[in-house]
Amino acid sequence: MRSIEAIRRSGVGIGPDRTITDAATIMEQAGVGALAVIDGGRLVGIVTDRDLVRRCMAQRMPADARVDSAMSSPVVTIQADAELHDAFRLFRTNAVRRLAVVRGEHFVGMITVDDLLVNLVGDISDLVRPVTAEILFAHHDPHVPATQ
Protein backbone atom coordinates (compact mmCIF):
# COMPACT_ATOMS: atom_id res chain seq x y z
CA MET A 1 0.00 0.00 0.00
CA ARG A 2 1.22 3.47 -0.77
CA SER A 3 2.66 5.67 1.93
CA ILE A 4 1.56 9.15 2.84
CA GLU A 5 4.77 10.49 1.28
CA ALA A 6 3.51 9.49 -2.17
CA ILE A 7 0.50 11.80 -2.01
CA ARG A 8 1.77 14.52 0.29
CA ARG A 9 0.99 18.05 -0.86
CA SER A 10 3.17 21.08 -0.27
CA GLY A 11 2.55 22.84 3.03
CA VAL A 12 2.46 26.56 3.68
CA GLY A 13 3.20 27.94 7.12
CA ILE A 14 2.82 31.20 8.99
CA GLY A 15 4.05 32.54 12.29
CA PRO A 16 1.63 32.76 15.23
CA ASP A 17 2.09 36.51 15.54
CA ARG A 18 0.98 37.27 11.99
CA THR A 19 -2.48 38.68 11.44
CA ILE A 20 -5.55 36.78 10.30
CA THR A 21 -5.65 39.12 7.30
CA ASP A 22 -2.15 38.01 6.35
CA ALA A 23 -3.30 34.41 6.74
CA ALA A 24 -6.25 34.94 4.41
CA THR A 25 -4.09 36.70 1.84
CA ILE A 26 -1.48 33.97 1.88
CA MET A 27 -4.15 31.27 1.52
CA GLU A 28 -5.49 33.08 -1.54
CA GLN A 29 -2.06 33.63 -3.08
CA ALA A 30 -0.85 30.09 -2.38
CA GLY A 31 -4.13 28.46 -3.36
CA VAL A 32 -4.45 26.55 -0.10
CA GLY A 33 -7.22 26.19 2.45
CA ALA A 34 -5.06 25.78 5.51
CA LEU A 35 -1.82 27.09 6.94
CA ALA A 36 0.45 25.42 9.44
CA VAL A 37 1.29 27.73 12.33
CA ILE A 38 5.04 27.49 12.88
CA ASP A 39 6.78 28.91 15.93
CA GLY A 40 10.52 28.53 16.23
CA GLY A 41 10.50 25.70 13.72
CA ARG A 42 7.79 23.80 15.60
CA LEU A 43 4.27 23.07 14.42
CA VAL A 44 2.05 24.68 17.06
CA GLY A 45 -1.30 24.87 15.30
CA ILE A 46 -3.28 24.94 12.09
CA VAL A 47 -5.57 27.66 10.76
CA THR A 48 -8.05 26.94 7.99
CA ASP A 49 -10.25 29.02 5.73
CA ARG A 50 -13.18 27.71 7.75
CA ASP A 51 -11.54 29.00 10.97
CA LEU A 52 -11.22 32.45 9.44
CA VAL A 53 -14.91 32.49 8.61
CA ARG A 54 -16.34 30.94 11.77
CA ARG A 55 -13.91 32.08 14.45
CA CYS A 56 -12.84 35.41 13.00
CA MET A 57 -15.43 36.97 10.72
CA ALA A 58 -18.48 35.54 12.50
CA GLN A 59 -17.07 36.57 15.90
CA ARG A 60 -16.15 39.99 14.48
CA MET A 61 -12.49 39.69 15.33
CA PRO A 62 -10.44 42.69 14.24
CA ALA A 63 -8.54 42.28 10.99
CA ASP A 64 -5.22 42.54 12.81
CA ALA A 65 -5.99 39.78 15.30
CA ARG A 66 -3.19 37.29 15.71
CA VAL A 67 -3.28 33.96 13.91
CA ASP A 68 -2.83 32.08 17.15
CA SER A 69 -6.18 33.46 18.32
CA ALA A 70 -7.90 31.60 15.48
CA MET A 71 -5.84 28.45 15.09
CA SER A 72 -6.66 24.92 16.19
CA SER A 73 -4.22 23.25 18.50
CA PRO A 74 -2.99 20.61 19.03
CA VAL A 75 -2.78 19.50 15.43
CA VAL A 76 -3.75 16.05 14.20
CA THR A 77 -0.60 14.78 12.52
CA ILE A 78 0.57 11.75 10.58
CA GLN A 79 4.10 10.57 9.90
CA ALA A 80 5.30 10.86 6.30
CA ASP A 81 6.21 7.16 6.22
CA ALA A 82 2.80 6.03 7.50
CA GLU A 83 0.50 4.13 5.16
CA LEU A 84 -2.75 5.31 3.70
CA HIS A 85 -4.90 3.18 5.99
CA ASP A 86 -3.39 5.06 8.94
CA ALA A 87 -4.76 8.24 7.37
CA PHE A 88 -8.17 6.60 6.91
CA ARG A 89 -8.23 5.79 10.61
CA LEU A 90 -7.25 9.32 11.64
CA PHE A 91 -9.90 10.91 9.44
CA ARG A 92 -12.46 8.49 10.84
CA THR A 93 -11.63 9.24 14.48
CA ASN A 94 -11.06 13.01 14.17
CA ALA A 95 -13.46 15.60 12.81
CA VAL A 96 -10.92 17.06 10.40
CA ARG A 97 -10.53 17.29 6.63
CA ARG A 98 -6.75 17.71 6.63
CA LEU A 99 -3.81 16.06 8.32
CA ALA A 100 -0.48 17.73 8.93
CA VAL A 101 2.28 15.47 7.66
CA VAL A 102 5.38 15.37 9.83
CA ARG A 103 8.75 13.72 9.66
CA GLY A 104 9.65 13.11 13.26
CA GLU A 105 8.52 16.35 14.81
CA HIS A 106 9.03 18.56 11.75
CA PHE A 107 6.13 19.67 9.60
CA VAL A 108 6.62 18.73 5.95
CA GLY A 109 3.25 19.06 4.25
CA MET A 110 -0.45 18.30 4.21
CA ILE A 111 -2.84 15.63 3.00
CA THR A 112 -6.56 16.12 2.63
CA VAL A 113 -9.63 13.92 2.51
CA ASP A 114 -9.87 14.84 -1.18
CA ASP A 115 -6.37 13.43 -1.80
CA LEU A 116 -7.40 10.08 -0.34
CA LEU A 117 -10.65 10.02 -2.30
CA VAL A 118 -8.90 10.73 -5.59
CA ASN A 119 -6.35 8.05 -4.79
CA LEU A 120 -9.08 5.53 -3.99
CA VAL A 121 -11.04 6.35 -7.14
CA GLY A 122 -7.93 5.75 -9.20
CA ASP A 123 -7.39 2.34 -7.64
CA ILE A 124 -11.05 1.34 -8.01
CA SER A 125 -11.02 2.49 -11.63
CA ASP A 126 -8.05 0.24 -12.29
CA LEU A 127 -10.00 -2.72 -10.91
CA VAL A 128 -13.26 -1.90 -12.67
CA ARG A 129 -11.76 -1.45 -16.14
CA PRO A 130 -11.04 -5.12 -16.95
CA VAL A 131 -14.38 -6.19 -15.49
CA THR A 132 -16.21 -3.60 -17.58
CA ALA A 133 -14.31 -4.65 -20.68
CA GLU A 134 -15.33 -8.24 -20.14
CA ILE A 135 -18.96 -7.29 -19.75
CA LEU A 136 -19.06 -4.97 -22.76
CA PHE A 137 -16.84 -6.94 -25.08
CA ALA A 138 -17.47 -10.52 -24.00
CA HIS A 139 -15.46 -13.01 -26.00
CA HIS A 140 -17.44 -15.90 -27.40
CA ASP A 141 -15.58 -19.02 -28.39
CA PRO A 142 -16.57 -20.25 -31.88
CA HIS A 143 -18.98 -23.21 -31.82
CA VAL A 144 -17.18 -26.48 -32.45
CA PRO A 145 -19.39 -29.42 -33.46
CA ALA A 146 -19.20 -32.39 -31.12
CA THR A 147 -18.45 -34.75 -34.01
CA GLN A 148 -16.83 -34.27 -37.37
- Per CB under 8 A, the list member of 20, 34, 35, 46 interacting with other proteins is 35
Give the 3-state secondary structure of residue 144: coil
Are 11 and 101 contacting, i.e. CB atoms less than 8 angstroms apart?
yes
Which x/- pattern, by CB under 8 A, does the window 111-140 give for other proteins?
Answer: ---x--------------------------
Residue 45 contacts other proteins per CB under 8 A: no
Are 1 and 42 contacting, i.e. CB atoms less than 8 angstroms apart?
no
| Piece of the chain touching other proteins by CB under 8 A; list 36-44, 60-68, 89-97, 129-137 | 36-44
d(CA 103, CA 81) in angstroms, rounded, equals 8
Q: How many CB atoms lie within 10 A of CB 40?
A: 7
Size of the site for other proteins (CB under 8 A): 25
Residue 11 contacts other proteins per CB under 8 A: yes
Tell which residue, 50, 98, 46, 95, has the closest CA to residue 74. 46
Residue 29 contacts other proteins per CB under 8 A: yes
Residues that bind other proteins (CB under 8 A): 6-15, 22, 25-26, 29-31, 35-36, 38, 41, 107-110, 114
